[in-house]
Structure 1
Amino acid sequence: MIGPEIDRLIQLLAKLPGLGPRSARRAALHLIKKREGLMDPLAEALAAASATIRTCSVCGNLDSHDPCHVCTDASRDRTMLCVVEEVGDLWAMERSGAYRGLYHVLGGTLSALEGIGPQDLAIPGLMERAAKPQVKEVILALNATVGGQTTAHYLADRLSTCAVAISRLAHGVPVGGELDYLDDGTLTAAFRARRSL
């Protein structure tokens, strides 16, 4: 019913997170209908991104420059280093505007089941950066998952040899969250991280 080019487009779109075969077909059809206004500029943007985007050799961020814009921004607080699992976490922190220090992207978390050990993550680079005299605090901004918790404990142990304060993002009740809808682990974390008013 459809040509191999359209079928390939649908198959590639279906590999994107959040898109299944049906959504990919709808997206492909929309792109084809809006060829000049959407598909052609998208194809050009994808080609340009593929040719220019690289991984920052300092922090692991994705950018068209190496070192990235975050690492070269002179207004950043260079005494703080925020450790995140993936680039998407770094981008989320940047969107919030709550943090103005430097980052370090691990590239994942420890997982015995998946065979991911310390040698598979960007831990040597983190240790090297944390040992620099200007770094005073390392913030472990890892997800509240089993892998994130395991990795945070491992990193806290490794970083204890450096002359830095080690902190962790607070976990608990989200803004606008209702207690009745929270799981037991989130409620427990919220009680443990409580503070006086």
Structure 2
Amino acid sequence: MFCGQCQNLTDASPCSVCANNQRNREQICVVEEPLDVLALERTHCYRGLYHVLHGVLSPLNGVGPDQIKLRELFARLSDGEVRELVIATNPTLEGEATAMYISRHLAGSDVRVTHLARGLPVGGSLEYTDEVTLSRAFQGRQQVD
């Protein structure tokens, strides 16, 4: 069964995350699949809510906005409670296209749309890192404190 709010897999609706009043209800993190929620929860660094799309836009595979949980996402945002939408789609062409679709749909709204940072993996080697990842890591560089 799906949670009626975040669309995550659950045995009760709302799920334990959505039912937790300690979570930041002004922030929603959008992920592709239920396992992505588990991965983010293991970090213990995010205290907002989630929205699971159950896929990504992939026109070549016949997956459009109506085939994933975008309608439900936009309905959640219509009440004005959410201030920030964190897009945490995978760094694939389809994930990036989905992120762009969401951000364009919300252009002009009061919702701040952010995206997880992209960059080098811990323990990785520059020599074996692809050009796109290196470019994004360079563009997203930060000052050393």
1:130/1:159 contact within 8 Å kept: no
Per-residue Cα deviation, 1:159-178 (whole angstroms, up to 9, x for no partner): 11421110000001112222
**Residue number in structure 1 paired with 2:114:** 167
Cross-structure match for 1:89: 36
Higher alpha-carbon deviation: 83-92 or 124-133: 124-133
Choose which of 89, 114, 126 in structure 2 pairs with 1:142.
89
**Greater RCO structure (CA 8 Å; 6+ sep):** 2
Q: Does 1:111 align with 2:19?
A: no
Matches within 5 A, 1:1-197: 54-197=1-144
Q: How many residues align?
A: 144
> Which has more radius of gyration?
1
Counterparts of 2:100 and 2:141, CA distance in 1? 21
Query: Tell me, which stretches of 5 or more residues in structure 1 are unaligned?
Result: 1-53
- Secondary structure of the 2:59 match is coil
Offset, 1:196: 1.9
CA distance in 2, matches of 1:175, 1:129: 35
- Structure 2 unaligned residues grouped into runs of 5+: none
CA distance in 2, matches of 1:126, 1:152: 13
Question: Larger % of helix: which?
Answer: 1
CA drift at 1:150: 0.5
Per the normalisation by structure 1, the TM-score is: 0.71
